[in-house]
Amino acid sequence: MSDILTPQQRHTCMSHIRSKNTKPEVRLRRELFKSGYRYRINVKKLPGTPDIVLAKYRTCIFVNGCFWHGHKGCSKFVMPATNAEFWSEKIANNRERDLRDYAFLESRGWRVIVAWECELEKSNFLYTVSEIQRQLDINRESWLVDMADRRKRREEWREVIKTKKDREKILLKQICQ
Ligand SMILES: [Zn+2]
């Protein structure tokens, strides 16, 4: 079998995939908080357990490790020479699951931001945070528009129902007279 791991590999494997409160994650959270953003963390009832959820912005942020989530073209994403088949399958699965989770969230009106670990390293950190904040503000605007649209559609629908009921009332009156 080609997918036998050394105990160390297995340990690394088990302990990293769903690890929470990683350093880049905590750093990003702290910075967002400092800028006045409020959020919940590791929200289990949403698919993929998003790391940071900003309800007011209808946004989920996933802080993804470059290796475990297969950051394409990234220098941190290098397939190990041993058990290459095992790892590539594992990472392909993770990536597939990620995309499924994002698609589901988006189908429910959530905006998804992926922050890669390499983008949160010191040299890129401030730039990445400002990009995330810019995106959050865009998301907030578009979510407000969505909600206004929904409200409008609901009101229009209510109007349709009301007209229908009024007509029935008139009809009923005519019949009873
Ligand atoms: Zn990366």
**CA 39–ligand 1 middle distance (angstroms):** 24
Token digits for 165? 């009921």
Q: What is the pLDDT of residues 67-121, one digit of tens each?
A: 999 999 999 888 888 998 999 999 999 999 999 999 999 999 999 999 999 999 9
- Judged against a pLDDT cut of 80, whether residue 148 lies above it is answered with yes
| pLDDT higher than threshold 60 for residue 49 | yes
Please give, one letter per residue, the 3-state secondary structure of 26-82. Answer: HHHHHHHHHCCCCCEECCCCCCCCCCEEEHHHCEEEEEECCCCCCCCCCCCCCCCCC
Distance 155 CA to ligand 1 centre (A): 46
The single-letter code of the amino acid at 108 is R
Cα 5 to ligand 1 centre (Å): 24
Measured in Å, residue 146 CA sits from the centre of ligand 1 at 32
Which DSSP letter does residue 108 get? Answer: T
Question: Phi and psi at residue 25, in whole multiples of 5°?
Answer: -65, -45
Rounded CA-CA distance 5/14 in Å is 11
Report all structural domains of the chain as residue ranges with CATH numbers, in order of start: 7-176 (3.40.960.10)
